[in-house]
Structures are given as C-alpha cells and as structure tokens.
Chain A
Amino acid sequence: MPDWFTPANWFTPDEWRAVALSLRVSVWATALSLPLGIYTAHLLARRDFWGKHIVNGLVHLPLILPPVVTGYLLLLAFGRKGFIGQYLDQWFGLVLAFKWTGAVLAAAVMAFPLMVRAIRMAFEAVDPKLEQAAGTLGASPLWVFLSVTLPLILPGIIAGAVLAFAKAMGEFGATITFVSNIPGQTQTLPSAIYTFLQVPGGDSQAFRLVLISIAVAMLALILSEFLSRAVARRIKGT
C-alpha cells in the first residue's frame, strides 16, 4: 500500500493522535448514546407523563448551558471523588476524569440533544394510526415498533447519529473542563487546535485540523438533511 493511502501519513504524529482520538471518542459516544437517544426521543414524542417538561429540559440543557458548566458538573458527578464517579471506581474500576473514556461521556452528553431532536422529529412524522392498525392486525407493541415504526424512522435515526457524531468530533468546552488536554490521552481535535493556536506561529499547524473540522461539520449537516428528507419520503411511500 502506498504511503499516501494511510491517513496517518497525511498528518504530523501530534495531529494524527488528536484526529484518531477524536474519531474513537466520537464513535463510542454515538454508539453508546444511540439506544438511550431512541428511547428518550420515543418518550418525548409519544408519551405523556408527569415531569415531561423537566425531562425535555434536562435533555436539551447541554445545548444552552455554557459547556464549561456542563464539564464542571460532569467533574462533580463523575470525578474520582464525585458522587457517581467514586462508585464507578470502587465497583468497576472505571475512572472517567482525565481519561479518554471521560471524553466519550462529555461528547455524548453534549451531542445528546441534537441526536434526540432529529430522532424525535422522525417519530413525530409517523402517523400513530399506522401503529394502531398494526396492533389490530395482531402485532404486540414491541413488534409494532420493530416492524412499522423503526423501518419508517430509520433514516431519521441515522440522521441523529450523524449529527451526534459530528458534534462529538467538535466538542471542546465540556471535554477540556472534564478531562483536560493531555496529548495522546485526552487531546481531541478541537483541543489540539486550541493548543496550536496558543503557540506563536502555530496557525499553520492548526490549519489542516481546522479544515477537517469544517469538512466533518458540513458533511454531517448535508447528510442529515438528506436523511431527514428520506424519512418524509418513506412515510409518504414514494
């Protein structure tokens, strides 16, 4: 295989470490939050329950809250002495603070509102009457979900995942607060850009990473828009 074919050769080792870490963090953050995202979207789109506004607010909070606050709250909760973190450490030996796993959590929390929003809109586009019809034909609620709802909203789920992935690639504030900016450990792509820009003449080094960020974001937006249209087409059956 020629050298140029390996992405690692496109970058300096520092840059590549940051890009590879961001990819890993984003994949994990998206994959782990997707089931909860689908569940939450379904809850918000289809169920009426006491405290729905509070759940809705909590889900969307990271979108509005200063990211540094989200990161600080994560540190309080999931730090090694945090009220959840200490048990994760004791029972599972899982430490999140200042580890790449913590970057996964931070990225997942920050990307969650975007994911839920896209999937929720897909759920809301599905006519509950179709699900009722499936029920009268003998399908249990789980089967209705698997055989009618899920196939209809699948593009919407992918759209949500793509947006969440792109958001996770770009997450900076909460990540740097919660897991700091340790090269090779927690230095994600935006953190690397930030570090380069702190050094006089670092602009040129940051340039390629900036381009990548723009490309990822733009692609994700176009793709998710396309997929959202696919939901509408699918539901209309054209």
Chain B
Amino acid sequence: MSLSVALSHQFPGFTLEVNFTATPGLTALFGKSGSGKTSVINAVAGLLHPDQGRITADNTTLLDTRAAINLPPHRRRLGYVFQDARLFPHLTVSQNLAYGRWFAPKTPNLKNGGPNFDDIIDLLGLNALLNRRPTALSGGEKSRVAIGRALLSNPALLLMDEPFAALDEARKAELLPYIETLRDQTQIPILYVSHALAEVARLATTIVVLDQGRTLRAGPAADLLADPDLAPSLGIRAAGAVLTATVTAQNSDGLTQLHTHGGPIWLPKIAVAPGTKLRIRIAVQDVILARQRPEGLSALNILQATITEIRLSEDGALIQLGLGPEHLLARITRRSAEALALCPGQTVFAIVKSVAAAQTDVGTR
C-alpha cells in the first residue's frame, strides 16, 4: 500500500504546493506550525478540496481534479485521529468505538481479517473505560479512544494529526509505544503530522519535510535525519541521526549491550530480549569527535566511523559520519574542525555522551 499526494492550493496569503509518495509504514509530515501539514492531511481526508491535485491510495483515486474525481470523506476508507480527539459527547466510549465499525465495509480487506474489537481494546488498554462518557476521560484516555475508534472503522489508511499535542511528556511517552505497535503489527499505512522532531525520529519510516507550504524534502527517515544539509531546517538543536542497534546481552551491572555498525554500545537497562532490534537516536550535540581512540575516558560508547561529509556554516560544522551503511551526525565548532584537520574519508572516533541514548528516544523497529 502506498499513498501518492500531489496538490496545490491557494489560501489567502499562503500557497500550498506539495508532492510526495508515502511508502508502507509510518510517514511523518514534519514542519513548523503554519507550514501546511494539517492542510495536506485534510486534503487526503477530503475535508479540504484543493484547487488542483491528485491523491491516490494504491489503485484507488481519492482525488483527481483533472478528471473531476473527488471522493467524499465517508467513501475514502480512512481513519482520522484528530488533534482534539473529537469523541461524540452523547455516546459512551464503547458506542464511540462502535461508531466507525458500524459504517466499515463488512468484507475485511486486511490480511488478519480486519480489526477485532477485543484486540484493539486490549492493544490500547480501553477495557476499564468502555462505559464512561468522553467528558469523564483524561486527555490521554481520549487520545487512545480516538485511535481505537479510527482503527475499528477498518481503514485503508490512518491519518494522525498531532494526536498527542495536548498531552504532557509523561503521557506522550506512555502512548508512543502504541503507535509503534500499530506501525509494526498492522498493515495500515500511517500519515502522521508532527512538529516534534524527537517524535518523528522515533516513529517515522519516511519523512516529508514541509516548509512554508512546500515539500522541502521527502525520503527514508534514516537518510533525512543524517543529512547535514537538512539539519538546519529540522532545527539544529533537535537534529540527530538514528541508528539501528541489536541487543546482544544484558550485563550484570545493569547495562544493556547493543551492537551497532560502529561497534558495541551500552545503555541503561532496556528490558528486551537479546536479538531485539532497537532504533536509537543520537543528537548532533551529543557527539564528541577524536582522531585516535581515546583512552582513560569515562564515556563508554565510542564508535569508529569514517567521515563522509563536512558542512561548514557560520555557527559551526556539521560532520556526517559513516558507520557501515548507516550515518551519524555530529556538530562541532569550526575551530575544532580546523584543529583536528578533519577531511572526508578520514577515520575518526565518535564519543557518544551517555545521555544521548535516553530511553524515550529508543524505539522498537
């Protein structure tokens, strides 16, 4: 299942001109507020009718302004999780959940035979809430019910517009694993709007970066996050590459040992079995470079890498490092870059401060 979107729309004082293809998995629409993310997702949902455009999901044309095709929202077979949950106030939680199911096509299109009510309830932990009214729910509970309601409508595509924007960090950390499970265990592609890079880095398979209504870049998440040219637009402080790491052992001193392409790393205990693949994110600020393998250092995580690219700018240097097929991004001062005489092709050692691999930035994949 893939989604292809090409559209242009003229708002008063704002032009939207977007073009991208979303592959299976989770596609994040990333950009500052006002960059047009919600307009794009609304166009996919059929809530915004663009001046010109073509949106196709697999073989179904949702919109084609040239052929005068414009499926109304209720025929598009999508589940939309809104920023503000939008639960029906006159219905209980279980009636809200059943609402989409009532209108869902009776012939399941999914490999697993369509969404099963009990499975979704378990997945999202909704059992205790079923007889409550939406007003009696907390923000996090509302979000979970909204996700459940969307899933139970048996959608061919799941749209999520900053579903956790209204929640504090603790709640968000509680809910992000649900999204990861959805991404990995259901076959439904997800289009996910966010302006939080950490969230995107953790969840996205594909990233589409929007800037002032235009597609700045679109591509695989790992490539875009490790691109020194893109880092300034993502926000230099939040930027950072993601690596795939495999858990190799649980050490007796409470650390978990993982294998990466740049060598072993150790993280505070992560309760998963050896062999599990994790996505780890290392912020550009949290990498120190050395030309020789440093000794007598308290830092545990030192990765061997090859410099693949150097980008100098007024406020510093961004160094892209190759670790086998993967990339890491480091930000150092220009003075350090000159002092170390760094150049592409050179072998360096990246010292990763242990804070860089915080638990919340570690995601399953």
Asked if A130 is at the interface (CB within 8 A of a chain B CB), the reply is yes
Neighbouring A residues of B103 by C-beta, 8 Å: 137-139, 143
Q: How large is the interface on B (under 10, 10 to 19, 20 to 34, 35 or more residues)?
A: 20 to 34
Task: Give the shortest distance, in Å, between A122 (CB) and chain B (any CB).
Answer: 13
The A interface, classified by DSSP as helix, strand, loop or mixed, is helix
Asked if A95 is at the interface (CB within 8 A of a chain B CB), the reply is no
CA distance A135 to B45 in the complex (A): 10
**CB nearest to A144 among chain B residues:** B74
By CB atoms of chain B within 10 A, which of A130, A137, A143, A238 has the most?
A137
**CB nearest to B150 among chain A residues:** A137
With A152-B89, A237-B90 as given contacts, are A137 and B47 in contact (CB-CB < 8 Å)? no
Is there an interface contact between A138 and B89, defined as CB atoms closer than 8 Å?
A: no
Is there an interface contact between B100 and A138, defined as CB atoms closer than 8 Å?
A: yes
Is there an interface contact between A234 and B80, defined as CB atoms closer than 8 Å?
A: no
CA distance A147 to B159 in the complex (A): 23
Neighbouring A residues of B153 by C-beta, 8 Å: 137-138
CA distance A152 to B353 in the complex (A): 55
Question: How many A-B pairs with Cβ below 8 Å?
Answer: 74
CA distance A148 to B90 in the complex (A): 8
Neighbouring A residues of B80 by C-beta, 8 Å: 133, 136-137
Interface members, chain B 189-218 (any A CB < 8 Å): none
Interface members, chain B 66-107 (any A CB < 8 Å): 72-74, 76-80, 82, 84, 86, 88-90, 99-100, 102-104
Neighbouring A residues of B82 by C-beta, 8 Å: 129, 133
Neighbouring A residues of B334 by C-beta, 8 Å: none
Asked if B331 is at the interface (CB within 8 A of a chain A CB), the reply is no
Neighbouring A residues of B72 by C-beta, 8 Å: 135, 140-141
Is there an interface contact between A237 and B133, defined as CB atoms closer than 8 Å?
A: yes
Task: Give the shortest distance, in Å, between B101 (CB) and chain A (any CB).
Answer: 9
Is there an interface contact between A132 and B99, defined as CB atoms closer than 8 Å?
A: no
**CB nearest to A235 among chain B residues:** B89
Residues of A within 8 A of B (CB): 129-130, 132-141, 143-144, 147-148, 151-152, 234-238
Residues of B within 8 A of A (CB): 45-47, 72-74, 76-80, 82, 84, 86, 88-90, 99-100, 102-104, 133-135, 149-150, 153, 159
Interface CB pairs A-B, < 8 A, 26: A129-B82, A130-B86, A133-B80, A133-B88, A134-B88, A135-B72, A136-B46, A136-B79, A136-B150, A136-B159, A137-B74, A137-B79, A137-B103, A137-B149, A137-B150, A137-B153, A138-B102, A138-B103, A138-B104, A139-B74, A139-B99, A141-B74, A152-B90, A236-B135, A237-B89, A237-B134
